[in-house]
Structure 1
Amino acid sequence: MKSFLLAFALLALASSFASAFDPSPLQDFCVAVDDHLHGVFVNGKFCKDPKLAKAEDFFFSVKNPGNTNNPVGSNVTAVNVEQIPGLNTLGISAVRIDYAPYGQNPPHTHPRGTEILVVLEGTLLVGFVTSNPDNKLFTKVLNKGDVFVFPIGLIHFQFNIGKTNAVAVAGLSSQNPGVITIANAVFGSDPAINPDFLAKAFQLDVKVVRDLQAKFWMDGN
């Protein structure tokens, strides 16, 4: 009897953790709306009255290529709850990624979502690195029609190794997966991290760290 109660308690605890991480919606949809007077607050957003929802609440277009004229040669067009209010509480989002020849989506992580990427045009070298202590690199060259998965929270990247533009789309397992671009966060933080600390952490000369911190760090993709 004690074993049964213990097992039941552990199962209930596990279920509560699962629900806290990604709760199932209790309604067909919850269109996000900026209306704190008349909306109902659910999962970080106020919900529009379902009777007032319209098709446009569930629509966004990514048919136009993004501008890749930047230092990294790529552009990410996000399709999350900010672009599609109807995504609220549904636990998914997407991105379109455009790459100039030899452009890259620099090493970054999504703290709240696993990513599945599909190459539409071009050839990409992609990869991710496992957590400590192994830091094992999984990498592969992808061509048109190929699919690759980046597990939640792990550092990953894409690099256009072709001489022509490349395009990919990706789905993510969160309505707002977030993104942390590693170089931007470390060397472009506001205020700046102490350069002496970073020099020791990365085993670099402090002058190199200061030079990196002085660079213009574009908004992370």
Structure 2
Amino acid sequence: MFKRLRKEKTEIMVDEEKGHLFLGDNEKDIKLLMLRPVDILEFCEFAGANADDIIIWSAKSGVGKELMKKYFHDKDWSNVELSVKKEVFLGVLEALMLMGYGYVTATFKKDHIFVSMYNPIAEEEQDNIMAKNLCLINQGIISGILEELGFDTEGQEVECVLLDDQRCRFRFDLFGTQIPDELVDEEKSPEAITDFLESL
């Protein structure tokens, strides 16, 4: 179990004078924008057809990496222990949950990392042929977070709620890094995840 972020760092705050929403205090300048899934899909249409790489890169650079820079200004992760990086990654995933990305979990394996999203926003747009772009955005965001932590990865979605899977699951293969045995996770059983989701 990972350490939870302090409550004051993850609450959504309102600056009524400016009309802004912030994650945590406004000094971090992590402004939030309320969008419906369909709004994001319509924005993705500007990238055109067969623009998967563009959408992933945009989410990676514009959301994932920027979020990390706001949380950890000028942080150099090159000499940080893997155990700490893992805790930070899990903590940032918790922040994504609080921002409405669904229930997000990560499983660290020897040479790859699985990230699973249960009840992702893509579920709300199952009948929209552009809904796959929501999954590409999520893949890009996670890729950006991992890159900021110093992980060289290549990601792909291996399960998807749009294909009637229980979750959206992304696999990020690690290059140049091996997770030590003491940090490798066991798989969570589907029953345990289901029980947890039903308890929410």
Q: TM-score, normalised by structure 1?
A: 0.29
Structure scoring higher RCO (CA < 8 A, sep ≥ 6) equals 2
Higher helix share: 2
Q: TM-score, normalised by structure 2?
A: 0.31
Higher strand share: 1
